[in-house]
Amino acid sequence: MKKAVWLVLWGVMAGLLGAGVLWLISRAPHGESIQLLPAPTTPPLVIYLTGAVTAPGVYSLPPGSRMADALDAAGGVTDQADAQNLNLAQVLTDGQRIQVPEKVFPTQTSAPDAPARSIIVPSILSTPGLINVNIANQAELESLPEIGPHLAGEIIAYREANGPFETVDELLDVPGIGPATLEVIRDLVTVGD
């Protein structure tokens, strides 16, 4: 009889355990399910590429892009480009403006043994000693007092967008050039003939 009692007790225990397992499996889950959000995407870099490149303009590049990627996006540099001083491994930043300079070719002086000197020869000379803002390159514009790399680039960008300057006073339309700056450079610049 003892055996029969133990068998009944074991049967009841096994039944209760099985019922508990079935109850746990079949009950509805509590709480809310976890929703996974997509990873945030980094916006592209937008750069402005000007100067001696095949296709100057504004380009969108993936984050982490380098100078070489920007030049590739613009179709490469032209034959007149002086890319020697460009750091092709430079990591770009959003909103960056890149000016690819043109080569300055040395000229031979009249004396055969004299060393060649690099000089800037504008295609149109208007008044000797004055810088023609309609044809001057970045370096020529930077040689003016009060005009650094940024303002020189602004002058070039303005004339590329709006055509040649009609008067010296039109330089006031260039962002960053005010009346005081214009008065400092007025006698040093010309707009040509």
Q: Which residue's entry shows tokens 């004396």?
A: 111
Whether residue 116 is predicted with pLDDT greater than 80 in this model: the reply is no
Percent of the chain whose predicted confidence (pLDDT) is above 90: 21
* Cα–Cα distance, 4 to 66 (Å, whole number): 85
Rg (CA), the chain: 37
Is there a single domain that holds both residue 95 and residue 139? no
**pTM score, two decimals?**
0.38
Cβ neighbours of residue 143 under 8 Å, at least 6 residues apart? Answer: 131
CB 134 within 8 Å of CB 164? yes
Mean pLDDT of the chain: 81
Average pLDDT (11-27) is 86
Residue 91 lies in a domain: yes
Whether residue 52 is predicted with pLDDT greater than 90 in this model: the reply is no
Residue 78 lies in a domain: yes
Phi, psi of 11 (to 5 degrees): -65, -45
Last residue in a domain, options 65, 100, 135: 100
Which residues form the domain of 125?
118-190
Which residue from 57, 73, 64 is spatially nearest to 43, judged by alpha carbons? 64
Say if strands 45-51 and 97-100 run parallel, antiparallel, or are unpaired: parallel
End-to-end CA distance of the chain: 128
Q: What was the pLDDT predicted at 117?
A: 38
Tell me: the pLDDT tens digits for 76-94? Answer: 888 888 877 778 888 888 8
Kindly report the CATH number assigned to the domain that includes residue 168.
1.10.150.320
Report the range of poorest mean pLDDT among 64-68, 111-115, 149-153.
111-115
